[in-house]
Amino acid sequence: MKRWMRLALLIGLAVAVSGVDLWAGNPVLSAEPQQPKTEATLLGLQFRTPQRGWAVGSGGTILKTVNGGKGWKKVVSGTSVLLTNVLFIDGKRGWVIGSNGTLRISTDGGDSWRPVSVGTEVPLYGISFPTPAHGWIVGGNGMILHTHDGGTSWHEQSSHTNATLYAVAFSSEQHGVAVGAVGTTLVTLDGGTTWTAHGFLGGVTLFGFEWSDSMIGWAVGNAGALFQTTDGGLHWTDRTIPCLQTCTKPIDLLRVRFTSPQTGWIVGERGIVYRTNDAGFTWQELRSITDVSLFGFSFSDASHAWASGERGTIIELKPNR
């Protein structure tokens, strides 16, 4: 109770958390498991349309669907390393990243992949392309890589940290935020020419970051860590989701997505799902949709979403209101 009171005083308003049965009448969310026929841990997931999606994970696994996940095809990746993320910037051109400095590109919608050398062997975790020409990748030992020519060449930018960076997102070609281990948050306002640390958020590990508009962003991490910035990453408010009476251990929050400035979703450990409909003023806990951790999370639009995780799990999610 003392911890909860401290949080309430810090935030100014306690985060509302209540249980909801996903399959009750008029459910908030319906969830349907898919059958990708793999036991790989699927860390990265992206759907550009309700039909076309890609998932990547352990053992160099790359999966592709062209029918909304009703069927998944395994694609030859040319590698056996752990793949951590996938991003297509249009229907043809996409990237996968992973361990040992792995970066591979596809120019045919993910049917074939070829390696791209980036001059590092640290694991790569986060990727963002705010424009077709400009992209960033982050990873171990504070690694930040930038391309200004659509990925033909990549150059390291100085992060001034050795902390592992797990996520990066740009709201414009100039303005980006990267987050990672030991509560690290980095901000650039000049396209990565300079990156500046703006607070170490309680020493937690931050796994995901998302903009809900050009200045408001959300970072999620272990033990229920949830932080909000309203000024582009310069300052942060602790909105950590507390562990209440029914909770034995705070849940690790792994991915956050917003479909509008008001509506956001979080997935994480043990299949947990949270939702906000009031721009993060309150967060509602929904019933777990699976017993495994969910690492990948993608919306093709506000009505269609998918999550992926351990043991080859891919679940189609349909927000109903």
pLDDT tens digits, one per residue of 265-283: 999 999 999 999 999 999 9
Q: What is the pLDDT of residue 16?
A: 36
Higher-scoring residue by pLDDT: 47, 17:
47
**pLDDT mean over 201-220:** 95
Strand partners, 85: 97
Amino acid at 35: Q
**pLDDT mean over 87-103:** 97
Higher-scoring residue by pLDDT: 133, 200:
133
Q: What is the pLDDT of residue 246?
A: 58
Each residue of 155-182: pLDDT tens digit?
Answer: 999 999 999 999 999 999 999 999 999 9
Range in 113-122, 198-207, 225-234 the model is least confident about: 198-207
Q: Are 252 and 310 in contact (CB under 8 A)?
A: no
At 23, is the pLDDT very low, low, confident or very high (cuts 50, 70, 90)? very low
Spatial distance between the Cα atoms of 110 and 96, rounded to a whole number of angstroms:
10
**DSSP H or E run through 11:** helix 2-11
Residue 223: count other Cβ atoms within 10 Å of its Cβ.
16
Spatial distance between the Cα atoms of 321 and 307, rounded to a whole number of angstroms:
18
Let me know the angle formed at the C-alpha of 256 by 177 and 195, rounded to the nearest 5 degrees: 10
Query: 2 by DSSP, 3-state: which?
Result: helix
pLDDT at 3 > cutoff 90? no
At 48, is the pLDDT very low, low, confident or very high (cuts 50, 70, 90)? very high
Sort residue 99 into left (φ over 0), alpha (ψ -120 to 50) or beta: beta
Q: What is the pLDDT of residue 17?
A: 39
Let me know the angle formed at the C-alpha of 258 by 305 and 223, rounded to the nearest 5 degrees: 95
Q: Are 162 and 141 in contact (CB under 8 A)?
A: yes
Q: What is the pLDDT of residue 247?
A: 66
